[in-house]
Structure 1
Amino acid sequence: MQAQFNSIMQTQFESIRNLFGVQPGDYLVSLTDTPHEVLENPGASGSILFLTENKRCIMKTVQKKEKALLTELFQEYYNNLVQNPKTLLPKYFDCYPCKNRKITLSVMNNIFPTSIQLHQKFDLKGSTYKRKVSKKETSKKSPTYKDLDFMKKHPEGIFLENKTYDILFETMEKDCKLLESFKIIDYSLLLGVYFVRSDSTALDRNDANDFPSGATLAWTKNGDRLALYMGIIDILQKYDAKKKMEHCLKSVITDGKAVSVQNPKIYSERFLEFIKTKVFKKINTS
């Protein structure tokens, strides 16, 4: 039965690659070209990340319990990708067991573009407890900031066209509903920001042709034009007994509602509320 299920997963992995335009030859080159660049992981999971030579895929180590969760949710995850192609969830292209080790190497899409250098990167969970970049992280060439940093750098939020805002959150709500149904927490919105130029708030749709695919056009309240790249990451952490204990202990130290670890429903609601109200705002462009 397990072998049959694994065979179905392989077929669906191939279908996902086809759905998102990953050609077999390009995918093979992604995996076999060397050397792969080791990426610095700002998260606490301890996973190792690799960027393929052509920079189109991310390879990430997955622990045994994370692989079991991916297997458990895979059918629903696959259905969501097919029915919701604008999904912000990671696009898993395949998984490969590592020889003589209790880990798996997953292959996913690279959210960020390879032809431009992003000006800012954020890892956003909707939590304010200790969600601030460390001194060690700020010393890096391209640091990843957190929730409190975003609120300081973008106190007014980032503005989206009304239709873009509505579509984004319709998609994100579907994604979060799926994660909540499998009791998943600790996921983040990974957001890359590229400052284009200062401009009026009038939206010139031709600007979309100036950037790599996947850009969402936006602007600051001051009229700085932005190209955004985003996706939901780290979706393989379940709200288990260990996480429940972590929440209880941190709640003794500070406001329990502020800490990152929450039950899946509260986590999902807080995450969406933060992204909807603190990160993105609507602007009427009609």
Structure 2
Amino acid sequence: MSESDGGEFDHPSLRFATTNGERTLSNGDFYAGSWQGNLPEGTGKYLWSDGCMYEGEWGNGIKTGRGRISWPSGATYEGELLCGNLHGRGVYTGVDDTTYKGSWRMNLKHGEGVKSYANGDVYEGFWKAGLQHGVGRYIWQNGNQYVGEWRKGVMNGKGVLRWSNGDTYNGQWLDGLEHGHGVYTWTDGACYMGTWRKGVKDGTGIFYPTGYFPPRPRRRWSLEGGLDLTHSKDSSQKKSAIDTPVLEREYVQGVLINEIVKQGDAASLKVSKRRQRRPAKRPGETVIKGHGSYDLMLNLQLGIRTNVGKMTLDTAPDVCPQDFGPRSVFVLKFPRLGSHLTPPHQSLDFKWRDYCPNVFRSLRNMFRIDSADYMMSLCGNDALREISSPGKSGSVFYLSQNDKFMIKTMRKAEVKVLLEMLPSYYEHVQSSSNTLITKFFGLHQVRFVVMGNVFCTDLHIHRRFDLKGSSQGRSTDKVEIDENTTLKDLDLNFVFHLEASWRQSLLKQIEQDCKFLESQRIMDYSLLLGVHFRAPQCPAVFSPVPSRTPDAAAEGTDGLDSSKRSGTLATAEDLCSLPKTTRLQIRLGVNMPARADRSHCDDGTSSDVYDVVLYLGIIDILQQYDITKRVEHAYKSLQFDSQSISAVDPRLYSNRFQELVRRIFPSNDTSVVPK
């Protein structure tokens, strides 16, 4: 028996009539254990004449179940077998101390697993047919590491390579080499954005000196003979002079053939340096060990990684009616010590439920969410950030470190609503690709849903509004207002003018989305609106909002006054300085340029005009007009104007919401401030 052969061990000379005992066979093999008829059945030990040994479970004369194989070379395997093959979860230890712990299929590594090489390298991720395939992390013995996509054993697709000296390459890979668009960042913050071909720069790119961009958190990813040692190719090109200009460079097969100065004046670099001094405050509290939500975070990261990772290995089937509903659920237990389907982990034992997994995979594809980026964003060593809900629901929100995905804990009633409306939601998204309602990417238990973040942008969101169209209780109580404060309807003293075709498209999409929500008996949803003010005209906008008292305004408690924000405001060059792929993605609800008119007067007269960039979407779409909301409507109608409260019939809510949107996005021949 060879180490690569896990085949059947049924031998003609094994066919004895005894039911239990030991027997030396005519070919020199030895078996001791239980029998059924003339075949090994149950547990037993088989020793081959060449020194190989198997001890474990048998079925119908074949190794099946759990067992341990040892070879004369010293290599061992301990784990699950099926029909004589390594199949399931097991640990292989080679003669050179190479180890693999993970999933197997027909004697080949397949699924999730960790391999430690004899030279000290480690690969942690997914395998297919014995080779690295899918998302994985490779750590070299010298500290270099790659996190990203693999194909047939080599780096291929999107990935990040970080050298031990701090340099990084973030971009496309092909056959183990940099190939396609990428960003090389030196440890001092300088970076080059351009294209690579077969491992070398090729084509046109832009070099940005140290201090041009504010520092950003590095994204990492976690999964709980090696490759050739990879060296940093550009460490010798590091730029330390702070006065180095922005350069446009052209390469041919790694050779620099042309260089043009794009920006080199000292004043512009000083502005960039000032912007770097005060990075924007990021919302939320990082969930670290000891935090009350730490175990929950580990559970959801492990569940998402396991489910999504396994699904990427399989071809996506077409969505059918059986994929919807509460019965379409994948249940998996995660014991702390691991199982044949799950890896060991540091949290407590938990049960994972993944609702309608095929539907949400199809939705992610429709929303163009890459599976590798999805896992790397949510399952990174850089922990999630917990954000308290500004509303009354009591839900807790978690934000991925790249701000792309939002996770919300849900009540049982909300899960029921989402599952009931999911077929209609799926159909609506298919027919309306520009929908502004919340984009759902997954539904899991412990009950939470993964959504898109409306404010996923490199620009600062200077003002945030949660708008319903009602007035009762729709003002912010906080005295201190900063860029992370969510304001409400009565705090809004702007109208926003869009280009005519954009306004028409927006109103049409809002009408379609509201019609869908009305058909599902949904109400109490909001328009989440983010505003980025473009400098140099914007400092005045950060004076306190009119609803503040004179004393509060005099104290400058707004937190965004011009004296405090002048060093961190994004300039009008922000849109131009973003990567090409970002600045061209101006679409409905994302990166929308507009003109904002602000009023300081009670009569609504507009007095200030600003150039802004808008981000918006419809959120909180899981509240039906049920008996609780009917009672709330009846009770509050006795105290307040029934038209001013949030809890109203879905048809009335839809009409009022659309009227709100028409008021705050008036046609260009009007400038009425919403009241």
Cα deviation 1:151-174 (Å, max 9, x = unaligned): xx31xx111111111100111111
Amino acid at match of 2:485: P
Q: 2:391 — aligned with what? A: 43
TM-score (norm 2): 0.38
Separation of aligned partners in 1, 2:610 and 2:408 = 34
Separation of aligned partners in 2, 1:190 and 1:87 = 14
Q: 1:101 — aligned with what? A: none
Q: 1:177 — aligned with what? A: 515
In structure 2, do the counterparts of structure 1 residues 3 and 88 end up closer, same or farther at CA, with 3 Å as the change threshold?
Answer: closer
In structure 2, do the counterparts of structure 1 residues 197 and 46 end up closer, same or farther at CA, with 3 Å as the change threshold?
Answer: same
Of residues 585, 588, 594, the one that matches 1:218 is 594
Separation of aligned partners in 2, 1:182 and 1:231 = 18
Of residues 488, 491, 496, the one that matches 1:146 is 488
Deviation at 1:141, TM superposition (A): 5.4
Separation of aligned partners in 2, 1:29 and 1:207 = 26
Q: 2:633 — aligned with what? A: 247
Q: How many residues align?
A: 267
Mapping 1:1-286, distance limit 5 Å: 5-6=328-329, 9-33=356-380, 34-98=382-446, 104-135=447-478, 138=480, 142-150=484-492, 153-154=493-494, 157-197=495-535, 212=582, 213=585, 214-221=590-597, 222-277=608-663, 279-283=664-668
1:253 is paired with a residue of what secondary structure?
coil
2:359 is paired with a residue of what secondary structure?
helix
Separation of aligned partners in 1, 2:508 and 2:574 = 24
Q: 1:202 — aligned with what? A: none
2:534 is paired with a residue of what secondary structure?
strand
1:269 is paired with a residue of what secondary structure?
helix
Separation of aligned partners in 2, 1:170 and 1:37 = 35
Deviation at 1:3, TM superposition (A): 6.9
1:65 is paired with a residue of what secondary structure?
helix
- Quick one: percent identity of the two aligned structures? 35
* Larger-gyration structure (1/2): 2
Which blocks of at least 5 consecutive residues in structure 2 are unaligned?
Answer: 1-321, 331-354, 538-572, 598-607, 670-675
Separation of aligned partners in 2, 1:96 and 1:117 = 31
Amino acid at match of 2:427: N
Amino acid at match of 2:666: K
Deviation at 1:210, TM superposition (A): 5.9
Amino acid at match of 1:48: V
Separation of aligned partners in 1, 2:625 and 2:384 = 32
Equivalent residues of 1:88, 1:175 under 8 A apart? yes
Separation of aligned partners in 2, 1:54 and 1:32 = 11
Equivalent residues of 1:197, 1:226 under 8 A apart? no
Separation of aligned partners in 1, 2:630 and 2:477 = 25
Deviation at 1:178, TM superposition (A): 0.8
Amino acid at match of 1:14: R
Equivalent residues of 2:463, 2:483 under 8 A apart? no
Equivalent residues of 2:633, 2:648 under 8 A apart? yes
Separation of aligned partners in 1, 2:575 and 2:666 = 20
Separation of aligned partners in 2, 1:28 and 1:171 = 30
Deviation at 1:113, TM superposition (A): 2.6
Amino acid at match of 1:86: N
Higher share in strand: 2
Deviation at 1:6, TM superposition (A): 4.3
1:44 is paired with a residue of what secondary structure?
coil
In structure 2, do the counterparts of structure 1 residues 210 and 219 end up closer, same or farther at CA, with 3 Å as the change threshold?
Answer: farther
Which blocks of at least 5 consecutive residues in structure 1 are unaligned?
Answer: 99-103, 200-205
Deviation at 1:264, TM superposition (A): 0.5
Cα deviation 1:264-283 (Å, max 9, x = unaligned): 00011001101112x11122
Higher share in helix: 1
Deviation at 1:180, TM superposition (A): 0.6
Deviation at 1:26, TM superposition (A): 0.6
In structure 2, do the counterparts of structure 1 residues 220 and 272 end up closer, same or farther at CA, with 3 Å as the change threshold?
Answer: same
Equivalent residues of 1:198, 1:225 under 8 A apart? no
Separation of aligned partners in 1, 2:622 and 2:507 = 21
Separation of aligned partners in 1, 2:592 and 2:431 = 21
Deviation at 1:197, TM superposition (A): 3.8
In structure 2, do the counterparts of structure 1 residues 207 and 82 end up closer, same or farther at CA, with 3 Å as the change threshold?
Answer: farther
